[in-house]
Amino acid sequence: MDIYDRIRITISKKFGIRNLIMSNQLYQIISKVMKIPESSLIDTMGPESIERWTSFNGYVLLHELETGFDVKFTIDEVMDVTTIADIKRHLKNKGIIFD
């Protein structure tokens, strides 16, 4: 994540400005960690449907999400995730805006 991504996230959180880049950033992070094409990701996918979504890669993904979106997840939020849609929901609850 570069300085411009951090600025976009900060502005989005502070002022509630809609940001189309957030979904792309989420898919880019998942794609990078799970080593699958970004174009193959859909919101209903999760550990059950992504072969490389192991417990280890789940922790790597958690770190990348927290770093990439400048948020911290609770244990309950982490344990609640079964799909990409769940990740989006928790990020939305933290002020990240998706379209």
Compute the mean pLDDT over every residue in the chain, rounded to the nearest whole number.
Answer: 86
Q: What is the per-residue DSSP string for 63-81?
A: HHHHHHHT----HHHHHH-
In a domain, 54, yes or no: yes
Residue in 19, 37, 18 with CA at minimum distance from that of residue 27: 37
| H helix or E strand, kind and range, residue 59 | helix 55-69
Q: Pick 62 or 21 by higher pLDDT.
A: 62
pTM reported for the whole predicted model: 0.78
Of residues 20 and 11, more confidently modeled: 11
Least confident of 7-16, 34-43, 64-73, 80-89: 7-16
Number of domains in the chain: 1
Q: Classify residue 98: in a domain, yes or no.
A: no
pLDDT at 98 over 50: yes
Q: How many helices (H) and strands (E) does the chain have?
A: 5, 0
Instruction: State the Cα angle at 46 between 41 and 51, rounded to 5°.
Output: 85
Instruction: Assess if residue 34 is contained within a domain.
Output: yes
Question: Within a domain: residue 99?
Answer: no
- Give residue 15's domain range: 3-93
Q: What is the pLDDT of residue 9?
A: 62
Q: How far apart are CA 39 and CA 93, in angstroms?
A: 25
Nearest to residue 28, comparing CAs of 39, 16, 38, 40? Answer: 38
Q: What CATH number does residue 71 fall under?
A: 1.10.1200.10
